[in-house]
Amino acid sequence: MATDTALEDDQARAGEEDVVEHVDHPTEAQYWKIFFILFAITAVEVLLYYKSIPGVNINNGFLGALAMTKFVIVVGYFMHLKFDNRILRRLFVSGFILAAFVYVAYLLTMGVFINPPHHG
């Protein structure tokens, strides 16, 4: 009998630990807020695609920044990286920053940021 009670207590504690472990995850209301934020960013992206900013050719830069923002939000909340171990977040952020620098370096070698001289 004593072992049965001890086993039940261990199972009850294991169940409690599972519940406590998931307390920090977003609520349904927070997921809806995230949805509307992602929706708004996507609306801005569509607007930028159809209407360019006059006088400056930075639409692609804005579109890239908005896409990276959406990526970070999705990974952080929907893939629960925000609530995972710190080392996993640091590895993700390090890789993300490295990828951004490599992409910018590639764009620099392709001359994307250099404006050609205007003729006549």
Q: Cα–Cα distance between 79 and 120 in angstroms, integer?
A: 53
Q: Flag whether pLDDT at 4 surpasses 60.
A: no
> With contact defined as beta carbons under 8 Å apart, do 46 and 66 qualify?
no
Both tokens of 103, joined, read 């992409």
The domain limits of the chain are: 27-83, 85-115
Confidence (pLDDT) at 117? 54
Confidence (pLDDT) at 19? 45
Nearest to 35 by CA among 9, 74, 89, 2: 74
Confidence (pLDDT) at 102? 93
pLDDT tens digits, 6-47 = 555 555 555 554 444 555 778 889 899 999 999 999 999 999
pLDDT tens digits, 50-100 = 887 776 667 777 888 899 999 989 888 888 887 788 898 888 889 999 999
Q: Report the predicted TM-score, pTM, of the whole model to 2 decimal places.
A: 0.63
Confidence (pLDDT) at 10? 55
> With contact defined as beta carbons under 8 Å apart, do 51 and 83 qualify?
no
